[in-house]
Amino acid sequence: MKAWQDKVRRVTPYTPGEQPNKASMIKLNTNENPYPPAPGVRRILDSFDEDRLRLYPDPAATSLVAALADRYGVGRDQVFVGVGSDDVLAMAFLTFFNSDKPIFFPDITYSFYPVWADLYRIPYETKALREDFSIRAEDYYPDNGGVIFPNPNAPTSRYESLSLIRDVLDHNQDVVVIIDEAYIDFAGESALSLVAEYDNLLVVQTFSKSRSMAGMRIGYAIGQPDLIRALNDVKYSFNSYTMNQTSLAIGVEAVRDEAYFRRTLDMICATREAAKASFTELGFTFPEPSANFIFVTHPDYEAAELFKALREKDIYVRYFDKPVINRYLRVTIGTDEQMAALFAFLKSYMKKG
């Protein structure tokens, strides 16, 4: 080993979902929205003044912060934006999880959490979910250095009530509690309604799912001003110009078009309901889905084999070769046509069609 190699920080990296690029594929593996962004996004791109690209963007992302503050009825000093919710969450780990005590998060959850914890040398403990993949609030009562979990959870799609979140907050008033709401728009009430009550609550959301803009990388957090101020201090110490000019411009436009946002949400939720019925008809079971995906298992078919068979037909879903969940497939909700093709293949493969 070379001398410098002994000083390299080594972590096991996060593994993102496969990103194939085939004209005929059906891509249901990374929870992207099957519909295009709001129409105004195209207008902004078509009329964008390219001369702006030679200038640095606004480091405070003022226009996007203002649009989000207006949309959610909070102060501008309560909004933080970043390059996707991954950037926001990474900044939050670096900012708030600095205790010698372990942070807590579920054992089945977004697999970036342990990566960030290892990267920043943050001790952590995972808490086992119940058999139905629900969270036990009491598991988060013991002394800790912070709490984070997604709601709805990924990859299970399980949504937890605000009463459970309130319970966790009531038992963790001396640490920061982060609720990662990447999929909340497909589910129930957001924890944003609790921000005014709890000065240690940070709610993180994204444009990648419900706003059809995974390719632009826009995420944001909402909390009390002290939390946001601390996040910005770390951001400005790390990279002042995180949001590029085009992301800021089209992000504002996407927030403004509430009608389109609601319409595409309704379409995805309607397709999800139809998919639930089709999966059930084929003998699959799943937790009640509250996101833009369904986490399915079948008693007679191995998930790994189904995954391979689908992939051979250019139908991509997500398989996690991990304990407890290695009999499940995570299937993104696509268009009605994409889902029809998926179920046609499954019926043929399972000889039920």
| pLDDT tens track for 295-340 | 999 999 999 999 999 999 999 999 999 999 999 999 999 999 999 9
Q: Is it the case that residue 1 has pLDDT exceeding 80?
A: no
pLDDT tens, residue by residue, 66-92: 999 999 999 999 999 999 999 999 999
> In CATH terms, are 3-37+259-349 and 39-257 the same topology?
no
Average pLDDT over residues 181-209: 97
Are the C-beta atoms of 104 and 146 separated by less than 8 Å? yes
Candidate from 19-33, 99-113, 158-172, 304-318 with smallest mean pLDDT: 19-33
Domain ranges of the chain: 3-37+259-349, 39-257
Amino acid at 310: L
Average pLDDT over residues 18-41: 93
Three-class SS of residue 161?
coil
pLDDT tens, residue by residue, 85-130: 999 999 999 999 999 999 999 999 999 999 999 999 999 999 999 9
Give me the pLDDT at residue 352, please.
Answer: 60
SS (H, E, C) 53-69: HHCCCCCCCHHHHHHHH
Q: Is it the case that residue 16 has pLDDT exceeding 90?
A: no
Instruction: Quote the CA–CA distance of 328 and 57 in Å, as a whole number.
Output: 43
Average pLDDT over residues 11-25: 86
Give me the pLDDT at residue 353, please.
Answer: 47
For domain 3-37+259-349, give the fold.
Answer: Aspartate Aminotransferase, domain 1 (3.90.1150)
9 confidence band (pLDDT: 50, 70, 90): confident
pLDDT tens, residue by residue, 219-235: 999 999 999 999 999 99
Q: Is it the case that residue 186 has pLDDT exceeding 90?
A: yes
- Mean pLDDT in the chain? 95
pTM for this model (two decimals): 0.95
Phi, psi (degrees; rounded to nearest 5) at 238: -110, -50
Instruction: Label residue 314 exposed, middle or buried (CB < 10 Å: 0-12, 13-18, 19+).
Output: middle
Torsion angle of C-alpha atoms 308, 312, 313, 319, degrees rounded to 10: 30
Give the right CATH number for 39-257 from 3.65.10.10, 3.40.190.10, 3.40.640.10, 3.30.70.1400: 3.40.640.10
pLDDT tens, residue by residue, 256-272: 999 999 999 999 999 99
Instruction: Quote the CA–CA distance of 99 and 144 in Å, as a whole number.
Output: 8
Task: State how far the alpha carbon of 79 is from the alpha carbons of 63, 175, 181, 193, 224, in Å.
Answer: 11, 20, 15, 14, 9
